[in-house]
Amino acid sequence: MKFSSYDNSWKKDCETEIRNADLATSRLFIQTWVPDYLNRILKDPGLKYALFEWDKIIKFSFVVGSIWKCFGAFTATRLDGLLCLSFDKKLKIDFVATAPWNYSSKGKMRRIGSGLIYFVITNSHYLGQGGEFLLNALPDAEEFYENLGMEETGNRNEVNLKEYRMPKEAAVSVQKIFKEYVI
């Protein structure tokens, strides 16, 4: 899937493509994102789970019949987003992140996170889930998911992150809003 992202530094639209992650994606993640993630992990131990599981999950996603599928959002050759989905009766985002250079409100790239969510909703429809999916949100991302219309389920994962569910109605709304950016 391709969509129009926005480079906040250059003040122009760019083309971003979500495609299957491979070993090169894993290397890009380690080379360009890990130093920033390590700094964040020192402040937030909850991120340690996502960092160390990513490499294992992306490699396991190559196994035929694996419940995991991993994707990268690339703007040209730069990795701007990561996504890992699992499907076992319900679609779940196991890992989603935009690049460390996007964390501030004035981050470099815009629409990367929304593009990844749109991609998940599309896959949810393909799997017969009507746009619904689950994820566990980092505290600083909860507002983003709530603004998309996601609802807290009351469940928490092993590192005490809140679980959120994308209801069908909210998925339709996200699709209507974001489809103007799909290429």
pTM of the model: 0.87
Over residues 3-23, the pLDDT tens digits come to 999 998 889 999 999 999 887
| Mean pLDDT, the chain, integer | 86
Number of domains making up the chain: 1
The pLDDT value given to residue 40: 62
- Domain with residue 72: its CATH number is 3.40.630.30
Confidence of residue 115 (pLDDT cuts 50, 70, 90): very high
Burial annotation 89-126 (CB, 10 A radius, 16+ → b, else e):
eebbbbbbbbbbbbeeeebbbbbbbbbbbbbbbbbbbe
Phi and psi torsions of 15, nearest 5°? -100, 125
The continuous run of DSSP H or E covering 25 comes out as helix 23-28
Confidence of residue 46 (pLDDT cuts 50, 70, 90): low
Q: Which domain holds residue 135?
A: 2-181
- H helices within 29-167, ranges in order? 34-43, 46-60, 112-126, 142-147
